[in-house]
Amino acid sequence: MKVSNLLLIVIFCLAFTCFGQETEKIYIPKNLEDCFTEINKSIPDSIKVKITNWEESEMSTLHFGQGKWMRNNWGLWEGSRLSRYFNNIGIYHPDDMSGIILTSYHRYLNGKDIKLDEQVKYYKDYWKKAKEEDLNRKRDAFSKYKVGDMVVFKYSYNSTSGEQKTDDDNICIARGIITKLNKRKFLIKVEITESCDKQNQSDVNYGNEEKSFADSEIRIARKPGKKIVKHLRKGKRHWFDYEFWTTQN
């Protein structure tokens, strides 16, 4: 990337960020055209001219600066009216939303057709392909699990007993036998045969990261629910996502 372009990116992002900080309450656009209006307010004409002369592909360099500011301050992770506008046209991931805004703004500056339908189709096709590839990956991995297999679960999550932590980087180990399979949901039912404290019981928290994410199933950006707790007592049976367990030869 040219040094002049890098400097322009810095100036562009600083101008937009400072504009947002100077307002008491950041205005959230209602649609794509409204986004153009807000961007135009935040940057001088001289920068607009230089951006106009960029190749369209160079707009992607703004993803972690300008794009991040949009995602965080225009509520694209939090169900704002702008995110709902995108949801209504079939776009659900905030990264895709900011990408469409930046690409469309460049076309708008150049007097080109924005081709919104074409952009939406690109992202829909991308996620469709990614979902199919992920499904095929899960099917292949899940096919290796059989009823009667011995499985092992290594973890270092919160627990109720200090004795559960081992000297090996605070890793705990639970073992069990697969008693049932749910091929539709990729779940295995495991009967616990051993856990890592003296009383053969372990309380394990797992399942969600502490951050917002785009849920492709319900097709909105949302925050995760509470962590799941499993009490791994010897002789008990629980359903688990297969990816938590590895088969033991």
Region 160-165 average pLDDT: 45
Residue 242 confidence (pLDDT) above 90: yes
Cβ–Cβ contacts within 10 Å for residue 137, how many?
10
Task: Evaluate whether 227 touches 132 at the Cβ level (below 8 Å).
Answer: no
What are the residues whose beta carbons fall under 8 Å from the beta carbon of 78, sequence distance 6 or more?
A: 212, 221
Token pair listed for 187: 């779940």
pLDDT at residue number 14: 54
User: In terms of DSSP bridges, do strands 187-194 and 203-206 run parallel, antiparallel, or are they unpaired?
Assistant: unpaired
Single-letter amino acid, residue 149: D
Residue 68 confidence (pLDDT) above 60: yes
Separation in Å, CA 62 to CA 51, 100, 145, 223: 11, 12, 44, 25
Binned at pLDDT 50, 70 and 90, residue 208 comes out as very low
CA distance 87 to 90: 5
pLDDT at residue number 166: 46
Residue 61 confidence (pLDDT) above 80: yes
The reported pTM is 0.72
E strand segments, the chain: 150-155, 172-182, 187-194, 203-206, 213-215, 220-222, 228-231, 237-241, 246-247
Nearest to 103 by CA among 81, 80, 127, 122: 122
Burial class (CB in 10 A: 0-12, 13-18, 19+), 221: buried
pLDDT at residue number 162: 44
Domain locations in the chain as residue ranges: 3-128, 145-247
CA distance 66 to 59: 10
3-state helix, strand, coil in the chain (%, to 5): 45, 20, 35
Task: Evaluate whether 202 touches 164 at the Cβ level (below 8 Å).
Answer: yes
Binned at pLDDT 50, 70 and 90, residue 38 comes out as very high
Highest-scoring range by mean pLDDT, 15-24, 152-161, 176-185: 176-185
